[in-house]
Amino acid sequence: MSKPATQSSDGAGTSDLDLDVRFHAIDDAEPFYRYGLGGYHPVAIGDRLGSRYHILHKLGHGSYSTVWLARDQTLQRLVAVKVCTADASPRESEILSLLKNLSEVDDDGDGGALGRGMIPTLLNTFRIDGPHGAHTCLVTDVGRCSVHEAKRRGSYAPLMLPVARAIAAQLILTVAYLHDLHLGNVLLRLPQEFHLWSDEELLVRCGEPELEPVQTFDDKPIPPGVPLVATLPVWFPMERINKLPLSDAHVVLADFGESYRPSQESKFECCTPVHCRPPENRFEPTKPKSFPSDIWTLACAVWATLAQRSVFEMFWSTEDNVTWMQVQALGKLPDEWWEKWDARSKDFTEEGQPIRADDSPVYTFDYQFEDAMQEGRRRYKMETMDSAEKEALLAKLRPMLAYKPEQRCNVKEVLGSEWMTRYAMPDYEGMRARDELQVRRAPPAK
Ligand SMILES: Nc1ncnc2c1ncn2[C@@H]1O[C@H](COP(=O)(O)OP(=O)(O)OP(=O)(O)O)[C@@H](O)[C@H]1O
């Protein structure tokens, strides 16, 4: 699906309704020019959607939706209501319904059965007709925040190792479900006790929704169908990311809007941030995306969970910068790609060796492991990885990051790798065992 048009780099833009009206961008709020035909549906705190969902707060937004925290007044529980743009494809609800109907029992060794716990349950779907068209609304469980957002708010402090391992294990278990994986689409589960809050308690603990007036350039009147205020997303109270306990490391995947069924359709576009996209996406754009592409993005997501920054990310991630990082870490590209990369001679010899003008580091895997995974934990006086675990981790990641998709390892090899079985799964199972103990200790319901 192509991205909506007419957005400028500062997030300001023109409304499809009236091309003369331009909106000032508001941090953490959706772009208001998308409140036009085919775009977002205007939703406000206090609205009742689908005749039973009372809107309490905003959870976030994406290119194709705004997402709201609501009280289901029929079941008296908190839910997330994703109100899709009128031009969004119906793919996400189809995929979630399909996943919901999958048998719970068949596990052919690709992690499918265990990974199903991380797939959101589609609780309901309904449709809203509004000034900008017809909008599909998806009702799912509420997540606490994305792992990316938790890291960002915690100044990218590292996660405790058992927590990072348990999250990484869950990501690996979910790869059976094709998905453009990145930490912005991985939500921490909302702790059980938060579900017991009344609406009043929720507002006391999280604060009232923050509203900011929408402003247009030259003070032009706000067109009908565009909200007068921007609602900023809620922040559920949580420990700083480096203090997050193992019991809060459950994750659930969000955004199945870009999922696809490779047996039935081809996909060429990759919707992950540029630094987690596999190199074939850049160098072989006419070939359809294949399962090995997900293995590459999975490796990037596992690294980003364990480390303080993503493995191929630079402050300003352009395609060239990302390829530069990949060649620093993984060596020369395959010949036919190397030839295509025009910027290669700027910083590399024809053999793929980095040309170092000063004593700046070469971002090899080893360097990055020390710098992004170990150093921060030392600084925060946290447990670091021992050399046996480092060996096992890098031995798992390298074949996942083979340049050529056909040379990458497959899911079963990732699941059976020493790092997964000896280091990540025990922490994941430890987290689950604690949960079960807690359930058994909980006083019986009155
Ligand atoms: N169930 C949920 N619980 C809590 N927050 C959620 C939930 N679903 C989505 N969000 C928040 O809303 C944001 C947008 O959701 P999502 O990525 O699904 O939207 P989208 O329009 O499909 O995005 P994209 O731009 O990636 O296509 C997420 O980044 C997350 O912060």
Distance CA 284, CA 332 (A): 17
Tell me the CA–centroid distance for residue 67 and ligand 1, in Å.
6
Which atom of ligand 1 is closest in space to residue 59's alpha carbon? 5
Cα–Cα distance list, 348 to 171, 324, 332, 355 (Å)? 34, 9, 9, 5
Q: Which of the two residues, 314 and 85, has the higher pLDDT score? A: 85
Length, in residues, of the chain: 446
Structure tokens at 177: 């479900």
Distance CA 371, CA 378 (A): 10
Structure tokens at 371: 């710098």
Write down the pTM of the prediction.
0.88
Q: Residues 146, 59: contact at Cβ < 8 Å? A: no
Tell me: pLDDT of 173 over 80: yes
Tell me the CA–centroid distance for residue 80 and ligand 1, in Å.
10
Tell me: pLDDT of 106 over 60: no
What is the pLDDT of the chain when averaged over all its residues? 87
| Terminal alpha carbon distance of the chain | 50
The predicted pLDDT at position 6 comes to 42
- Using one digit for the tens of pLDDT, what is the confidence trace for 12-64? 555 555 557 999 999 999 999 999 999 999 999 999 999 999 999 999 999 99
The predicted pLDDT at position 413 comes to 94
The predicted pLDDT at position 443 comes to 60
Mean pLDDT, range 271-283, rounded to an integer: 90
Which atom of ligand 1 is closest in space to residue 84's alpha carbon? 21
Mean pLDDT, range 209-230, rounded to an integer: 95
Structure tokens at 15: 């409304």
Mean pLDDT, range 249-268, rounded to an integer: 69
H or E segment at 42?
A: none
Instruction: Kindly list the protein residues whose Cβ atom lies closer than 6 A to any atom of ligand 1.
Output: 59-65, 67, 80, 82, 140, 142-143, 146, 184-185, 187, 254-255, 257
Can you spell out the DSSP letters for 160-218?
PHHHHHHHHHHHHHHTTS-----GGGEEEEPPGGGGG--HHHHHHHH-SPPEEE--BGG
The predicted pLDDT at position 89 comes to 82
Tell me the CA–centroid distance for residue 255 and ligand 1, in Å.
6
Please enumerate in sequence order all residues whose Cβ is within 8 A of that of 155, keeping only pairs 6 or more positions apart, or say none. Answer: none
Which atom of ligand 1 is closest in space to residue 85's alpha carbon? 21
The predicted pLDDT at position 112 comes to 59
Strand, coil or helix: 23 = strand
Pairing state of beta strands 77-84 and 124-130? unpaired
Tell me the CA–centroid distance for residue 254 and ligand 1, in Å.
6
φ, ψ for residue 189 (rounded to 5)?
-70, 145
- Picking from 185, 190, 187, the residue whose alpha carbon sits closest to that of residue 259 is 185
Structure tokens at 160: 């405790």
Q: Which of the two residues, 159 and 315, has the higher pLDDT score? A: 159
- 143-190+239-433 is a CATH 1.10.8.350 domain: no
The predicted pLDDT at position 19 comes to 57
- Using one digit for the tens of pLDDT, what is the confidence trace for 70-101? 999 999 999 999 999 999 987 777 777 777 66
Residue 264: pLDDT band by 50, 70, 90 thresholds? low
| C-beta atoms surrounding 5 within 10 Å | 10
- Picking from 180, 174, 440, the residue whose alpha carbon sits closest to that of residue 289 is 180
Strand, coil or helix: 55 = strand
The predicted pLDDT at position 105 comes to 42
Helices and strands (H, E) in the chain, number of each type: 16, 13
Which atom of ligand 1 is closest in space to residue 271's alpha carbon? 26
Tell me: pLDDT of 282 over 90: yes
Tell me: pLDDT of 10 over 60: no
Domain positions in the chain: 10-103+121-141+191-235, 143-190+239-433
Tell me: pLDDT of 267 over 70: no
- Using one digit for the tens of pLDDT, what is the confidence trace for 357-394? 778 889 999 999 999 999 999 999 999 999 999 999 99
Class of CATH domain 10-103+121-141+191-235: alpha beta
Interface pTM (ipTM) of the complex? 0.98
Distance CA 430, CA 432 (A): 5
Mean pLDDT, range 235-264, rounded to an integer: 82
| C-beta atoms surrounding 306 within 10 Å | 23
Residue 215: pLDDT band by 50, 70, 90 thresholds? very high
The predicted pLDDT at position 446 comes to 47
Query: Where is the binding site for ATP, in residues?
Result: 82
Residue 291: pLDDT band by 50, 70, 90 thresholds? confident
Tell me the CA–centroid distance for residue 187 and ligand 1, in Å.
9
